[in-house]
Chain A
């Protein structure tokens, strides 16, 4: 039973993603690559090993994903621009102090062009809409210093429509409450300074109900625990100031037990194959829980807190106190 975070192993795991022939997960595809780089880099930053990956190579990769026609970033070279990859690109460049490489005006234009009349955002020209994309738009514009160009009331009104009878939020108006969608709606409202739109007592109770007897968190009632909810649920609770409503030691033990102890990485649950997505969100959850030796994570932006503070975007969230041992 692993009782500590195997930092050197996870650093090595993330570095090795560039070399390893065996670690190809079937869900790691070109359409996720930009996101994967962001997940890897953020995890390294929180473990205070940012320099484990070459900065210039990474910046070059990000810039190679620029879609000149659309004026934004795709997931990989020659992939069409998408909001998910555009946000990840901005986050990576900010963390690598290379945001000046971005043609901000064009990116802003791309983002704003994706807003639908109802207030929600599409992810790309294909038209799939989801509150995840709404969050990407709000977060990206905020990081670029162009939040004022947004029609805030329209967005807030749409999020209001996504509020369900159980206090949670879904992917689109009418959809079932789901912890990941709760995160994107809560974080978007936090950036827009409109947290009062949330029925906080009910939602925070619903979030605390995600914890299962094994200490892990699920995404909706009667579903299985998954390490990634350690971030979605925890960040929402942290933003709403109710992180203490989760049994921290039980969750911590659960996350630590999902580590792969030979070649590193964290999986969705103990015994499964790790991937960089769950590695980041497990580490992010541990950071919010005050795990010793980790850097502070900003739950609104899911980036190092110091970086968000430096650009003046810190909101009133509360993590658990960092333990010294």
Chain B
């Protein structure tokens, strides 16, 4: 396919090989709110697009035209749709199309159509391996891209291939190494560990729970003020139906201020790693967690929960004062006189 160079770029209306197409102008004789001020190139390309859609043409030059439009406006969903139909009609080699998409994705990561088009293509090629690599590379530019992570999840679940799954924990771990506060990576980890069925070698569910608890505790120890990690911890406990009180020994040090400089270190407990020296303490999420433990215990411990909530409302998390006051009020309803 002969693509004109920059210097040679002519409008479709100037190109003799397009003379047989009747371009259709966009209906524009009213002044709409939020109009589009098209460049001449875009106007020209979309006029010709309307023309070939009307005549139902599905030829290689349509691929050139739709690529042109998509490069200028990746949100033009009709162009994507028509391009896909044309690819199918022409029985084009889809690996080439994927390579083209690799290039476009770099610039247009936040556009739904880019990802959806890939999904359609991969469903045809049935070759998911390179996709995981592509996704990993693409995440380097935008580590929390919602579409990218969602697409990765889709690839894994759709093809459900043990070989693909087997590298996933390592992958998530490397993403968390790069940014332990990447909520998307934590979410993906939960999906791998607990929400994607049982794979070969993972049949001991208790072992999985223990592994994940150890993992998240270590991450909390390094950087305790990390909402994603605490949500993950709660998620594991809820999933395994483990009472929060079982984590009391681990959580308690995080809910207190840093011990004064010079305090001799506690006995090192591998099960319950202590906060790193640089950690900002007390950690709001830990105070919250301790309060939940006391609330669950009930009776005398409700007083302790209330004290912690008060400290959050008045000192450590004043932004959510109303929420903490709500917790105090709710708990007081259950206190028996």
Contacts and interface: CB of A to CB of B under 8 A. Distances in A.
Interface of A: 14, 17-19, 21, 24, 27-33, 36-37, 40-41, 53, 57-58, 60-61, 64, 76-80, 82, 124-128, 130, 164-166, 170-172, 174-178, 205, 208-209, 211, 213, 220-223, 244-245, 247, 250, 276
Nearest to B27: A77
Residue in A78, A165, A276 whose Cβ sees the most chain B Cβ within 10 Å? A165
Contact of A31 (B76, B120, B322): B76
A57 B34 CA distance: 13
A126 B32 contact: no
A175 B153 contact: yes
A79 B78 contact: yes
A64 B116 contact: no
A320 B20 CA distance: 62
Given A31-B76, A82-B77, A14 B33 contact: yes
B227 A80 contact: no
Given A60-B30, A221-B227, 5 more contacts: A64-B30, A128-B113, A170-B150, A174-B157, A175-B149
A36 B32 CA distance: 10
B205 interface: no
Interface stretch (B4-12, B184-192, B251-259): B184-192
Interface string B296-337: 000000000000000000000001111100100000000000
Contacts of A174: 153, 157, 191, 195
B81 A78 contact: no
B36 A33 contact: yes
B334 to A, nearest CB: 14
Interface in B185-206: 187-188, 190-191, 194-195
Contacts of B191: 174
B124 interface: no
A171 B150 contact: yes
A237 B157 CA distance: 32
B87 interface: no
A124 B77 CA distance: 10
Q: Give the interface SS of chain A, mostly helix, strand, loop or mixed.
A: loop
A175 B153 CA distance: 8
B149 to A, nearest CB: 6
B239 interface: yes
A194 B116 CA distance: 31
In order of increasing CB-CB distance, the 5 nearest A-B pairs are: A165-B235, A36-B34, A77-B27, A176-B187, A221-B227
A28 B120 CA distance: 26
A172 B34 CA distance: 30
Nearest to A247: B319
Contacts of B234: 165-166
Contact of B183 (A32, A79, A222): A222
Interface string B40-66: 000000000010000000000000000
Interface residues of B, number: 56
Nearest to A17: B34
A4 B27 CA distance: 40
Contacts of B219: none
Give the most central of A30, A37, A245: most B CB within 10 Å.
Answer: A30
B112 interface: yes
Contact of A24 (B36, B150, B235): B36
Contacts of A205: 323
Contacts of B24: 78
A171 B146 contact: yes
A325 to B, nearest CB: 23
Contacts of B263: none
Contacts of A21: 37
Nearest to A165: B235
A171 B84 CA distance: 23
Contact of B239 (A29, A165, A221): A165
Contacts of A276: 34
Nearest to A204: B323
Contact of B34 (A40, A78, A127, A171): A40
A145 B215 CA distance: 51
Interface string B69-105: 0000101111011001000000000000000000000
A245 B150 contact: no
Contacts of A209: 227, 320
Contacts of B138: none
Contact of A250 (B73, B146, B232, B319): B319
16 contacts: A14-B33, A18-B32, A18-B34, A29-B75, A30-B26, A31-B75, A32-B75, A40-B34, A41-B33, A64-B30, A76-B26, A79-B77, A126-B84, A164-B190, A170-B150, A222-B226
Contacts of B13: none
